[in-house]
Amino acid sequence: MNRLLLALPLLSACATHLAHDVRTVEASLSERGQLADLALPRFDAPNEDPVEVETLLARPLSADDAVRVALLMNRDARAALAEIGIARGQYVTAGLLPNPEVELSVRDPGGPQPLQLDLGLELSITATVLAPLRAAVAESHLEAERLRATGSLLDLAYQARVSFYEAQAAQQRLELRLRALESQQASYATAVDLNRLGNLPAIALANELAAVELSRVQVAEAENALLDAREALTQRLGLAGKRTRFTLAASLAIPPAEPRLDDAETRAVTSSLELLELERRAETASRKVGLARTQGWLPHLTAGFHGERDGNLWELGAHVAVGLPVFDRAQGQRLSAQSEYDAVLARAEAKAVVIRSLTRASLNRVESASRRARHYAERLVPARQKQLDETVKQYNAMTLGVFQVLQVQRGVTESALAQVDATLDYWRARAGLDLLLAGRSTPLKMGAAPPSSAAAAMNDSGGH
């Protein structure tokens, strides 16, 4: 019980330091991810979910809301924070002084002589001298782990944001497919009436029926795609039970005109968490080199106190033991630490090249996707709508039939579907660029619009 009471202050101090580590990650994440007033879950109440989550889920989710929910609820996020405690524990351990060793022995010399009592106390001087150097190595490692955890949370934020956009796009596609089905059903109903009156051949009626059934299949596919997209988003958010019934904001926003970011490469390299982490790991390796050098020339020193009780007398003394560094001078440790340092520096240089390349590719991707999506929204879809309006006028003037009107309507729907795909492509690219500028590089995902939608939007003649 006494040992437990003595350990409680130490455990409390470790928990306080870990809470400080989490707050450090929280502050960096808030700044880099532009998330105001972000409060990550506390480790002293791991089973309590933040109250903010219920407020966010009670309204239609936005992309920023989805990111906040993921950071607050996803257990992988909590695991990334908890793993900082491993490095914190290693840092605490590295800085501790060695425990003294106490030796107690009793001998019976036999005969009339009394029992003899030996008492010894031993302390490693070498370990005491090396403790600050080991702590310095562990401190650099701890800083690297904090940066790694921040990067993992930024990755999660990016994945949640992209999953949100994909679910939002799937929701829009379903709405458009349902609208197309209604149009196709109206076309088929008209065809049935005309066929009954003898004004439409059977093959034309069969074509209309086939188009209706195809449209039903497309609606079913869109429904499944939406369900899959929602489940992917739900996993990213870390939700279960009734919380999975969240709703999404209505539709993807039209991309803005993208300004040219001339300093994007510099910003991405300067803010890179991976480069900062490699810098800390290089510092760790450098300190390991210094530690190995010190271990190499420092003799293994132990000092001790010795007491022997013989009868009524105590014989007291002290001793020092010296292990001479003759054969093992930490040569292998120095070589390993130096090689680790060289490898980390090389990786940092390679990572900087990759980050610059990814930034250029992301900029090009964002600019291209923005122009394409805005062309759909500002030019192609309005042109299709104008084409429909003019076709309806011709229909009202009885110069065109209902089937021509419905065919043009399908062209409007396909153009709108292609616009959704292009807009999603933009927001994916924008999220990737924002992640790079926030300090995290991920493989560039070249998502593209399904060719069927784009081809239909461009090639559909609209009945002319």
For 81-100, what is each residue's pLDDT tens digit? Answer: 888 989 999 899 889 888 88
Q: Indicate the range of 132-141, 281-290, 324-333 predicted with least confidence.
A: 324-333
- Give the per-residue pLDDT at 43: 66
Q: Backbone phi, then psi, for 263, in 5-degree steps?
A: -100, 15
- Give the per-residue pLDDT at 359: 92
Residues 310-319, mean pLDDT to the nearest whole number: 73
Please report, rounded to a whole number, the percentage of residues in the chain having pLDDT higher than 70. Answer: 88
Indicate the pairing of strand 101-107 with strand 116-124: antiparallel
- CB atoms inside a 10 Å sphere around CB 46: 10
Q: Is residue 431 part of a domain?
A: yes
Distance CA 249, CA 421 (A): 17
- In three-state secondary structure terms, 108 is coil
- Give the per-residue pLDDT at 454: 42
The domain tally of the chain equals 1
Helices 125-196, 402-438: inter-axial angle, 10-degree rounding: 170
Residues 5-11, mean pLDDT to the nearest whole number: 42
pTM of the full structure = 0.83
Distance CA 138, CA 147 (A): 14
Distance CA 439, CA 32 (A): 7
Q: Is residue 427 part of a domain?
A: yes
Distance CA 185, CA 220 (A): 15
Band of pLDDT at residue 202, cut at 50, 70 and 90: confident
**226 Rama sector, left if φ>0, alpha if ψ -120 to 50, beta otherwise:** alpha
Asked if the model's pLDDT at residue 459 lies above 70, the reply is no
- In three-state secondary structure terms, 318 is strand
300 DSSP β-pair partners: 323
Q: Which secondary-structure segment (H or E) carries 65?
A: helix 63-73
- Give the per-residue pLDDT at 310: 66
Distance CA 278, CA 326 (A): 35
Per-residue pLDDT tens digits for 293-304: 888 888 888 888
Whichever domain contains 280, its CATH number is: 1.20.1600.10
Q: Indicate the range of 263-267, 323-327, 355-359 predicted with least confidence.
A: 323-327
Q: Is residue 343 part of a domain?
A: yes
Band of pLDDT at residue 402, cut at 50, 70 and 90: low
- Give the per-residue pLDDT at 2: 45
Q: Is residue 438 part of a domain?
A: yes
Q: Is residue 464 part of a domain?
A: no
The residue ranges of DSSP E strands in 286-397, in sequence order, are 300-310, 313-323
Per-residue pLDDT tens digits for 140-158: 999 999 999 999 999 999 9
Distance CA 51, CA 45 (A): 13
Domain that holds residue 294: 2-459
